[in-house]
Amino acid sequence: METAVNTGSFALQPRASEDAFAEFLRSVLRFWFGLFFRRIRLLNVEALTRTGPALLVANHPPGFAGALILNAAFDRPVHCLLEHRYMKGVLARGCARALDMIPYEFGGEDWPAALGNCCEVFARGGLALVFARQQTVGSEEPAGFAPEAAEIALEAQTYLEREAPLPIHPVNLFLPVPPSQSDELLISVGAPLAFPEIVSKPGVDPEQKIKALDEELERICRQNPFRLRPEEMDQLIAGLEGVMREDFAERWARRENWKQRVEEFELSPFLVRLVSQLNYGHPGRLVALNEALQSYHEARRREALGRFKIETAGAWVRNAGQRWGAWLETIVGFPIACYGLLNSLIAWFVLHLIGSLRKGLWEATAGEWVKRVIVAVICYAGQIALAAHFLPRSEAGYYAPSVFIAGGYLLRYLWLVEHRSHILFQTVGKERRISRLRRMRKTLIEELKRDQDRYATLWKLVH
């Protein structure tokens, strides 16, 4: 049995029956995540060798859930390095122990032990994974992009006495989050990192080697295959500016003698940096934000279209008498129109077969209308003849004129629905649509603020 290397919190597990339990737990995790995501796809996995040691650098905000996903996604066991703050609770610590995760605090007392554990993993030909810090852009005190990964790679080089550098693979995640409609989780494995020349030069200060390797890791990881294209980013930033302008305009309009204009508003450089950082480090979150923005634009387009229809409907919509008359006819005429539609189904089917309705109901020449009337009269006559055969004479006598009256009124009701009724419904739903727009705009701004609070602190972006 192998000797475990102490981490200060718990140790790497021996490779005996615990391995079987870890594999069982990984199977449970795969089933569990399969319930939440329609598909989990591991892309470009052939870049990672089936055997031999390798270090994976996850270009994604660190977290216990992300560590579980990555542990379950790969066929080979993955030893995830995770800071103590992400392993809160007995269940999390127990699961981390079972999956051979390596808790650490970078630069803390247990960091040397964590380095030793990683070297033991590589000595067995295993995989270790560390999350990138992503703290170089706009940080007040830059902590490096993935300094842990750079230090682990250099330490393993010495420990294993390897001539070839330890393979380091960037790993990018597309993790869909609400309110995104996507439910496909994607994980892309990048090609092994090409070590900078300075790393192999003797006599170079280790801090310089770590810095050079860290900068190369940042350059490679920022080529995230799931990121939005530059033109999409420009549209997203412009859209966010537009939403905030609308919100400010509505609030400022309620203040007397307010002189500031919304045209002067621009998205702050801080928020632009945050959005850009999300694009590289958590594109799934940015896609969710973009989808919410597109939903808002679509709702605003529908509201504007409804308002335009009301404004261009004509004088009748501003006349209370005509408006209430249209409401009354819409309600009272509905059963009559349904009766006419029921009796016109055969005529409608025949007209459809001969292609008389190909251009629509109203777009027809006088000749087409004559043809339609003749077909309808013939079909109605056949229906009346059948009614006279099967029904008493008195009932058939009532049925005969009602067929023609209801059929003619059906055309009137279709015109009413197309030109009057739907405008009435637009007027009723106007306030509801405006309230929905306000709620969507408020939710979108709150989501952006939550991202600001969550990720700006994590990445140490300066406001």
Phi-psi region of 226 (alpha: psi -120 to 50; beta: other; left: phi over 0): alpha
Provide the residue ranges of all domains of the chain, joining segments of one domain with +.
17-221, 230-310+436-459, 313-428
Place of tokens 């530059």: 230
Q: 102 forms bridges with which residues in the sheet? A: 81
Q: How far is CA 177 from CA 89, 165, 259, 267, 279, in A?
A: 24, 36, 40, 24, 14
**pLDDT for 139:** 43
Closest CA to 95 of 74, 66, 64, 117: 64
Q: What strands lie across the sheet with 39-43, from one edge to the other?
A: 39-43, 184-189, 168-174, 54-59, 127-131, 78-83, 102-104
**Helix spans in 354-421 (H):** 366-390, 393-416
What angle in degrees, to the nearest 10, is found between the helix axes of 320-353 and 393-416? 110
> Which pLDDT belongs to residue 429?
82
Give the pLDDT of residue 430.
83
pLDDT at 202: 79
This prediction has a pTM of 0.76
Cα–Cα distances in Å, from 194 out to 17, 46, 172, 223?
A: 38, 17, 17, 15
Alpha-carbon dihedral 10, 15, 20, 26, rounded to 10 degrees: 50
Sequential DSSP letters for 248-304: HHHHHTTSTT----GGG----HHHHHHHHHHHHH-HHHHHHHHHHHHHHHHHHHHHH
Q: Given its phi and psi angles, is residue 132 left (phi above 0), alpha (psi -120 to 50 degrees) or beta? A: beta
Q: Exposed/middle/buried for 186, CB within 10 Å: 0-12, 13-18, 19+? A: buried
pLDDT along the chain (463 residues), means of 10: 37 54 88 83 90 94 93 91 92 91 89 93 94 67 78 89 86 89 89 86 85 91 92 92 86 70 76 90 92 93 90 90 94 95 94 87 87 94 92 89 94 93 88 90 90 82 64
Cite the DSSP H helix spans in 124-224.
147-160, 197-200, 206-221
CB atoms within 10 A of CB 88: 10
Phi-psi domain of 79 (left: phi exceeds 0; alpha: psi -120 through 50; beta: other) = beta
DSSP class of residue 315 equals: G
- Report the distance separating Cα 105 and Cα 99, nearest Å: 19
379: left (phi over 0), alpha (psi -120 to 50) or beta: alpha
In whole angstroms, what is the distance from residue 351 CA to residue 371 CA? 9
